[in-house]
Amino acid sequence: MLEAGEPRDRTAAGVSAAAGPLAEDDGMALLDPARLSLRRGPTGVLRATVAGPAGLSYLQLAVYRAFPLSEPGRWVTLLDGEGREIGTIADPAALDAESGRLLAEECDLRYLTPHVVEVVEVREDTTEGGGWSPTLIWVLETDRGPLRLRLPNLVDHVRALGTHRYLIQDREGRRAEIVDATALPAASRAWLRRYLWL
């Protein structure tokens, strides 16, 4: 989502001209790290501000590594809340320290899948969607620490990977894996029975 109007051209959005063979060959729109600032909003969602005449702010971001296996430390693409590409950061190390830390944290959330050790609770948030289809907030304890996932629905955000094994992924791309639902504590299994009909 944009706070300001759409720019007339990509330069106004803080996107520099493609530099380097890879960017030219693949048609990547590169973001200038010196003009980009990443922060978290009140609910923990990653946001971006692009300095420049338009002064654009993106209130919700998703991040993807263009080459997660061959070059995991470079070429990170940012998408807005509607799934539209904002641009690619060729060298995340060139970001300011806080933006770099948040980008690395978000990439870790996307590409390093924590394993659920406890489902603390699942609660319904009716403030989104007018209560017709409440967002489910999953409060989890994982092998990498606590994690909260916001799921608009179960059909698109919970995937069975096998018998008693599930991948839960929220709309920002954060995810957690239940390796074996039968091995979780009784209270966790009760939450899963209620929402996943185990």
The full 3-state SS of 10-74, as one line of letters, equals CHHHCEECCCCHHHHHHCCCEECHHHEEEEECCCCCEEEEECCCCCEEECCCEEEECCCCCCCCC
Confidence of residue 184 (pLDDT cuts 50, 70, 90): very high
Q: pLDDT value at position 27?
A: 63
pTM of the model: 0.50
CA distance linking residue 66 with residue 71, whole number of Å = 8
The DSSP annotation for 126-156 comes to TTSGGGSSPEEEEEEEETTEEEEEEES-STT
Domains and CATH numbers, the chain: 11-107 (no CATH), 116-196 (2.40.50)
CA distance linking residue 52 with residue 13, whole number of Å = 8
- Token pair 């922060």 in the structure block, residue: 39
Q: What confidence tens digit (pLDDT) does each residue in 87-144 have?
A: 999 999 999 999 999 999 888 877 778 999 999 999 998 776 555 678 899 999 999 9
Own/partner pairs, 41-47, CB within 8 angstroms, 24+ separation: 44/148, 45/172, 46/102, 46/106, 46/172
Q: pLDDT value at position 160?
A: 86
- Token pair 């061959």 in the structure block, residue: 70
For residue 49 the two structure tokens come to 């501000």
Q: What confidence tens digit (pLDDT) does each residue in 37-77 have?
A: 999 888 778 999 998 777 789 998 989 999 876 788 899 99
